[in-house]
A and B are shown apart, each in its own frame.
Chain A
Amino acid sequence: MLKAFSNYKALNIYALYFHIGETEKKCFIEEIPDETMVIGKYRTQLWDKQTGSFLPATPGLGMHVEIKDPDTKIILSRQYGSDGRFTFTSHTPGEHQICLHSNSTKMALFAGGKLRVHLDIQVGEHTNNYPEIAAKDKLTELQLRARQLLDQVEQIQKEQNYQRYREERFRMTSESTNQRVLWWSIAQTLILIVTGIWQMKHLKSFFEAKKLV
């Protein structure tokens, strides 16, 4: 019974999956406010040509996880096994990039293998494990529900704060475009007038020198 349960649980956990090539790199973008925790869990299976199916667990096959912050600075670059769990907390708001690729050493041409990657990324409030929190802090059901609501509201607050920051950036970009359009239009009109005048003056003096006018 336990085996059946664990099999079923193993099937259902990290439910969503996709296929990637053995040497392919797959990236996901998470746009998050600052001080937000992100937990990622993955499980990989390798395509077995002989049995024509995906092997349940492949020892020795690892995944390299690389996470970049909005300034494209690498905040996490680690190798994990075929089943892994990575976690990070953002310190700057913005687009973080989570990239996964297998540590297969074969060349791209020869590595015809396919990998099945089960992935589950939870952000912010979803990272909290409420049954665990209830057991640890010994909360009643009402207290736990209140705690969950507090976490949700905190996430909404953080997102609103991040929205204000994004709107400020957008406004600065628009104002910069406005300034640039204004100054470059004036500059180009001036250049046009100046080159026109120079052309006429130069040609006039040239033709006078050639005694054609």
Chain B
Amino acid sequence: MSYCRQEGKDRIIFVTKEDHETPSNAELIADDPNDPYEEQGLILPNGDINWNCPCLGGMASGPCGSQFKEAFSCFHYSKEEVKGSECIDYFRNMQECMQKYPELYPQEEDKESSTQAESDTGSASAAPTEGSALSPETDATPSTSSLPSDSVSTTDSQAAS
């Protein structure tokens, strides 16, 4: 059973698990998914890519940022059967650029953070996604580039992402 105590202006309530089992009747205001003030997810309401999404870490802002943006944009807007199949050149450019900065883009794993982010969009487009990309469990990767998002999360600032 819960019990309650007042210490001056502070109120203290102790609750057991059973006390909290009944659903809450507190009312929350419905969120507007198109609210311009809110932090956006990876994909903006108009379908564009939000390059400033914390989920991308520093991918769009680093030295290979422009190559990454080209490659990912191409992939995102690709209407081919195998999505992104026409974007091989962009991804190759990106990989070449990243190989020049092994410190920033360690070539450890064969996971693609862009496809991970893409598969995230379905679940996370409405909700703000912060923090680095998760440990990848990706599906088919359309290209040869290896973007270890784990390393991304270690090299990039969690704070700034």
Check if A and B associate.
no
| A residues lining the B interface (CB < 8 Å) | none
